[in-house]
Chains A and B, each alone.
Chain A
Amino acid sequence: KNEVEQSPQNLTAQEGEFITINCSYSVGISALHWLQQHPGGGIVSLFMLSSGKKKHGRLIATINIQEKHSSLHITASHPRDSAVYICAVRHVNRDDKIIFGKGTRLHILP
């Protein structure tokens, strides 16, 4: 079983829909990252969380440390949001090394 699991693996939605991507992990962490990877491969760091909730524009990320779960929400989704969203956790017992989820491929239709 992977230490970081994302769901769904693939998601197609209409423009304007509210999007939720989930990440569950099974290890102790010091931080959790949400990354966005565009078709060309370039990576953008969206959020780094250790507790609570963060918001940036139309993106909201939450984390529940007790439940070992995080969600990434996109409000008023737009075709330019189409990308792979990757959850990554910083393992507290492995010298800060990062474990990546397999990613969620999001496709927003116009």
Chain B
Amino acid sequence: GAVVSQHPSWVICKSGTSVKIECRSLDFQATTMFWYRQFPKQSLMLMATSNEGSKATYEQGVEKDKFLINHASLTLSTLTVTSAHPEDSSFYICSAVREWVEQFFGPGTRLTVL
């Protein structure tokens, strides 16, 4: 089946720094990519919808200036957590949509902000 990768799989950073997470569809072009966040012992929650070549659409309560999403190509979307704080520590997951129908999930990135 189709593969979606994320890099890095885990990252630890100091408070105030920025962290970039990449989401790649390895063997297909993704018409849309989604970014999710999961806090400990909670469900995954949608953060934003990313379409190639256009601005991301953010869910209510998600700060677009803090979570910068760039969808530069049909196989790559990046999520940058700017000026990270300990409360941003979470598990970030992307998914990619193939041919408007099938959705595939990345393995996730665990972010720990010290």
Which residues on A sit within 8 Å (CB–CB) of B43?
Answer: 86, 100-103
Kindly report which residue of chain B lies nearest to residue A4, judged by CB atoms. Answer: B43
Interface residues of B in 33-48 (CB under 8 A from A): 34, 36, 38, 42-46
* CB closest residue in chain B, given A42: B107
Asked if residues B103 and A98 are in contact (CB atoms below 8 Å), the reply is yes
User: Which of A43, A48, A95, A101 interacts with B107 by CB under 8 Å?
Assistant: A43
CB neighbours of B75 from chain A (8 A): none
Which residues of chain B are near A43, meaning CB under 8 Å? 93, 105-108
Q: Does A76 contact B (CB under 8 A)?
A: no
Contact with B along A39-59 (1 / 0, CB 8 A): 011111100100000000000
Interface on chain B toward A: helix, strand, loop, or mixed SS? strand
Are B105 and A97 touching (Cβ within 8 A)?
A: no
Q: Which of A31, A42, A44, A97 contacts B9 (CB 8 A)?
A: A42
Bin the interface of chain B by size: 20 to 34
Query: Per-residue CB proximity of A76-108 to B under 8 Å, as 1/0?
Result: 000000000010101000011110111100000
- Give A90 to B107 CA distance when docked, in angstroms: 19
Q: What is the count of residue pairs linking A and B with beta-carbon distances less than 8 angstroms?
A: 51
Interface assignment of B80: CB less than 8 Å from any CB of chain A = no
* Residue B25 CB within 8 A of the other chain: no
Q: Are A97 and B91 in contact (CB under 8 A)?
A: no
Q: Which of B36, B46, B107 interacts with A44 by CB under 8 Å? A: B107
B9 touches A96 (CB 8 A): no
Main secondary structure of the interface of A (DSSP, over half): strand
> A35 at interface (Cβ–Cβ under 8 A)?
yes
- Given A41-B110, A43-B93, are A100 and B44 neighbors across the interface (CB < 8 Å)? yes
Q: Which residues of A are in contact with B by a Cβ distance under 8 Å?
A: 30-31, 33, 35, 40-45, 48, 86, 88, 90, 95-98, 100-103
**3 tightest A-B CB contacts, nearest first:** A100-B43, A100-B44, A41-B91
In the complex, 18 of the A-B residue pairs with CB atoms within 8 angstroms, ordered by the A residue number, are A31-B103, A41-B91, A41-B108, A42-B9, A45-B1, A86-B43, A86-B44, A88-B44, A90-B103, A95-B49, A96-B32, A96-B100, A97-B49, A98-B36, A98-B95, A100-B44, A101-B43, A102-B42
